[in-house]
Amino acid sequence: MRTKLQSRFLFVLGRSLLAAAALAALGACHMEPWVKPYERDHLADPVMSFDRDPVSSVYTDHVHEVREGSRGATGSAGGGCGCN
């Protein structure tokens, strides 16, 4: 029969070995960006935009920002009063 100290030692040893195995597995991973720098120009193409008409969507966003001062965080300056 194991003593309490032996059980605790085995528990800590098992956790340590598990942590060491996890670190070894993560250390074997090679990190690289999914999108290469020379592929980013394809993603920045206007065809990849969500908006069908970007000019009118910018205007609509501006109108919503002017009407509701709480809306925002889209990169434009100004408050709810409409004075930019």
Q: What is the pLDDT along the chain (84 residues), one digit of tens a residue?
A: 678 888 899 999 999 999 999 998 888 887 777 788 788 877 777 777 777 787 888 888 888 877 776 555 555 555 556 555
In a domain, 58, yes or no: yes
- Confidence (pTM): 0.36
Dist. CA 39–CA 41, nearest whole Å: 6
Domain membership flag for residue 33:
no
Give the number of domains in the chain: 1
pLDDT the model gives residue 63: 82
56 within some domain: yes
Q: How far is C-alpha 48 from the chain's CA centre?
A: 20
Residue 41 is assigned to a structural domain of this protein: no
Residue 44 lies in a domain: no
Q: Is residue 28 part of a domain?
A: no
Which pLDDT does position 72 carry in this prediction?
Answer: 54
In a domain, 53, yes or no: yes
Asked if residue 67 is part of any domain, the answer here is yes
> Domain residues for 57?
49-73
SS3 32: coil
